[in-house]
Amino acid sequence: MHVSFGAYYTLILAVLVLLLGKLMTRHIRFLREFNIPEPVSGGLVVAAAIFLLHQITGLTLSFESGLQSAFMLVFFSSIGLSANFSKLREGGTGLLVFLGVIVVFIVMQNSVGVGLATLLGLDPLIGLMAGSITLVGGHGTAGAWGAVLENQYGLGGATALGIACATFGLVIGGLLGGPLAKRLITRHQLARPLTAAEQQSADSIAVGEGSQVANFESSSHTPRLITTDAAVETLALFAGCLAFPEFMTGMTRGTAVQLPTFVWALGGGVVIRNVLDHAFGFKVFDRAIDVFGNAALSIYLAIALLSLKLWELADLAGPLMVILAAQTMVMALYAGFLTFRIMGRNYDAAVLAAGHCGFGMGATPTAVANMQAITNQYGPSHKAFLIVPLVGAFFIDIINAFILQGMISWLR
């Protein structure tokens, strides 16, 4: 038995998944504390219901894949359009050093995943799915690469596997960062807990830092509104980003530089953003791009989770937990020893280690939550709150995409 849903019905169901996730997040504390995205919480419940329906009746559901791909490309375009390389100057040498730390970590994370997958008799590409595709990349990257590995490399169930790993990473990243940083601070006597008066002052600083994380706009006192003109302007930028991968995919098909379509969308956004910034002095509206990108990501994830075939993961549960347990240990050791030491062995370095655990296993919001938990107790870290959002918001996705493409080409 098989039922297929067209584009309109797929979109309706995706919105219902988002509403379910929003309701669950509002009433379940665990989902709020660990920053589980609303489409993931709602989508996993629906995916579980579809799984039970399949097991009982044999019914299989399919959804419009073209709609999912379109929203995926919009999301990755938004990452590219947010990549203003002039921000590198704000981070200084500390940002460049931290980027170097992250590059080495991505390679190590993938090496651990591929090595363990091979030892366990699995396809090495499963190791990449339990590596930086999902842990550094998050749910959006998991779905994108999952589709590539399924369609181009025949790895069945890759998307379902990726969503499971990314969800695990979000939870572990939130659990790991705070205790690790606290241990580093206590062991090396880097700071003392704040008094009540100092705590109140730190709270006001954290609010200011939080606004910087949420919005990379200029420090204008009057916020720019998302008007009709701004929306049309932003849509035009996205149209350029979406045209770029279509052109480049056709031009590079069968060549050595053939890349997944979403990588071209991300790269197109980077090119368009920085050409407009530096060649024409055009001010790109970052907040509007964030709104469009976040909405696209939510709908994309909802459709991806609707399309999960959880029965394809049954044989991978045991080996997958072995790989993810090893990745957790590697993350803790790397952040506690290398990240902390290379970034200066001081209080800022300890907060950066907490942030690294957040987006090294989960996502940028998890990293920020980890850092806020530490700074609320021990005081502000301006350096960490500047570097981590800049790296986690877009630089990490660009670096990760090209490292993954190289490793997949090497494995195949």
Domain boundaries, the chain: 91-215+224-280+312-411
Q: Which H or E run contains 61?
A: strand 60-62
Q: How far apart, in whole angstroms, are the C-alpha atoms of residue 134 and residue 106? A: 11
Q: How far apart, in whole angstroms, are the C-alpha atoms of residue 34 and residue 56? A: 33
End-to-end CA distance of the chain: 35
Could you read off the pLDDT of 273-308 as tens digits, one per residue?
889 888 888 888 888 998 898 888 889 888 888 887
pLDDT at 51: 87
Q: How far apart, in whole angstroms, are the C-alpha atoms of residue 181 and residue 351? A: 6
pLDDT at 18: 92
Q: Which residue has the tokens 């006192």?
A: 221
Outline where 259-381 has alpha helix (H): 261-279, 286-306, 317-333, 340-342, 347-361, 364-378
Per-residue confidence at 201, pLDDT binned at 50, 70, 90? low
214, pLDDT greater than 50? no
pLDDT at 35: 62
pLDDT at 220: 45
Determine what percent of the chain is predicted with pLDDT higher than 70: 89
At 119, list the tokens: 């030892």
Mean pLDDT of 326-337: 95
Q: Which residues contact 390 (CB under 8 A, 6 or more apart)?
A: 87, 90, 91, 95
**Mean pLDDT score of the chain:** 84
| CA-based nearest residue to 147, from 51, 289, 263, 274 | 263
Per-residue confidence at 209, pLDDT binned at 50, 70, 90? very low
At 318, list the tokens: 């045991």
Could you read off the pLDDT of 101-125 as tens digits, one per residue?
999 999 999 999 999 999 999 999 9
Could you read off the pLDDT of 29-84 as tens digits, one per residue?
888 776 677 888 888 889 889 889 888 888 888 888 788 888 888 988 888 888 77
Q: How far apart, in whole angstroms, are the C-alpha atoms of residue 229 and residue 226? A: 8
Check residues 326 and 304 and name the one with the higher pLDDT.
326
Judge contact between 328 and 361, C-beta under 8 A.
yes
Q: Which residue has the tokens 């195949």?
A: 412
DSSP string, 124-170: HHHHHHTTTTTTTTHHHHHHHHHHHHHHHH--TTHHHHHHHHHHHHH
346, pLDDT greater than 50? yes
Mean pLDDT of 156-178: 85
pLDDT at 144: 85
Q: How many CB atoms lie within 10 A of CB 214?
A: 13
Per-residue confidence at 311, pLDDT binned at 50, 70, 90? confident
Evaluate if pTM is beyond 0.85: no
- 61 - beta bridge partners? 3
Mean pLDDT of 256-277: 82
Mean pLDDT of 313-320: 78
- What angle separates helix 87-119 from helix 382-390, to the nearest 10 degrees? 60
Judge contact between 378 and 195, C-beta under 8 A.
no
Mean pLDDT of 162-176: 85
Q: Which H or E run contains 55?
A: helix 38-57
